[in-house]
Structure 1
Amino acid sequence: MDTTSERERSYGQAQFEIRNVLARIAHSSDEGTLEEYGACFTEDARWEMPGQVVRKGRTEICLAGAERRASAIAGPGTRTRHLISTTAVTVHGDEAVAESCWQFYVGTGGRPVLASMGTYRDTFRRTDEGWQVTERIVRPG
């Protein structure tokens, strides 16, 4: 007899899909395209980090990614990596919150160096395209 309810399976599937979105953001930040990166966010998403301009909307979020690439801070060819761990996901219907720790490494072509670390607080919405981030709050430290 299967004791797992449909609700529990649905909750578990949502958590799995959200964790994959978090991984896609990290992968596309390091080696993917800005289109792949942007697809992880809703059109009206908000991205916030202390000391940085708050980015509002997918277009501004992608422009910030383009600026980081142009400055060789992150992106393809920079030999940098975003690692995400200890993620906790809470799902409430078609909305969810994920809290994760992140580490940012430079010099990954040789001896990687931890350049910074902190936490992400990501708010998600289930859309026709799947789960997407509506708000990312980045906290260094």
Structure 2
Amino acid sequence: MSDELAVRNVVARLAMLSDGGDLEEYVDLFTDDARWDMPGGELQGRENLLAGAIERRAAGTVGPGSNTRHVITTQAVAVDGEEAVSDSYWQFWANTAAEPSIALFGTYHDRLVRTEDGWKLAHRVISFG
């Protein structure tokens, strides 16, 4: 049960840190060779994940002052030894300071691995709809 909760916390922390936390702490939740697949692109490795997060913040689409929130809803986690799979629904809210509305939603299919430093995200597949 503690492994499942730890995996759930990694997914939750990623959402929260994306919205306004420290980006070094954000990328530390990924393995060194992590892969992030989504419609329109792929990022691989912590350096590229960090660069992508910095770019999204610079564009004002996420992060402090953007008035956006990533919300994780229904989540199922299966732990098998040193690996885990988490499937969850996500919502991306915009204009949260005035008239909140869902801008996007979809699913995350995450594969996590246990490391010396705890559970880390190794591969995320993002789907819309």
CA distance, structure 2, for counterparts of residue 137 and residue 13 of structure 1? 24
1:6 is matched with none
**What runs of 5+ residues in structure 1 fail to find an aligned partner?**
1-11
**Structure 1: which amino acid aligns with 2:106?**
G
Partners of 1:13 and 1:110 in 2: how far apart? 38
Q: How many residues align?
A: 129
| 1:93 alignment partner, one of 68, 81, 104 | 81
Secondary structure of the residue that 1:77 maps to in structure 2? coil
Give distance in 2, aligned partners of 1:62 and 1:136: 15
The offset of 1:33, in angstroms, is: 1.3
Q: Give how far 1:128 is off.
A: 0.8
Query: CA separation in 2, counterparts of 1:76 and 1:48?
Result: 24
Instruction: Supply the distance in 2 between the matched residues of 1:38 and 1:77 (Cα, whole angstroms).
Output: 20
Task: State the alpha-carbon separation in 2 of the partners of residues 78 and 138 from structure 1.
Answer: 21
Correspondence 1:43-62 to 2 at 5 A:
43-52=32-41, 54-62=42-50
Q: What's the TM-score, normalizing by structure 1?
A: 0.90
Give 5+ residue unaligned stretches, structure 2.
Answer: none
Match of 1:63, SS state, is helix
Letter in 2 for 1:130: G
| Matched letter for residue 135 of structure 1 | H
Could you tell me how far apart the structure 1 residues matched to 2:28 and 2:103 are? 27
Q: What is the match of residue 62 of structure 2?
A: 74
Give the match for residue 27 of structure 2: 38
Q: 92, 113, 118: which one pairs with 2:106?
A: 118
Deviations 1:74-105 (A, max 9, x none): 11110100000110000100100000000000
**C-alpha separation in 2, matches of 1:37 and 1:105:** 19
Percent identity between matched residues is 47
1:140 aligns to 2:128 (yes or no): yes
Return the TM-score normalized by structure 2. Answer: 0.98
SS of the aligned residue for 2:55 comes to helix
What CA distance in whole angstroms lies between the structure 1 residues aligned with 2:50 and 2:96? 24
CA RMSD of aligned residues (A): 0.6
> Greater Rg, structure 1 or structure 2?
1
Structure 1: 4+ residue segments shifted above 2 A: none
Q: What is the distance in 1 between the residues matched to 2:127 and 2:21?
A: 23
- Counterpart residue type for residue 106 of structure 1: A
Q: Could you tell me how far apart the structure 2 residues matched to 1:75 and 1:113 are?
A: 17
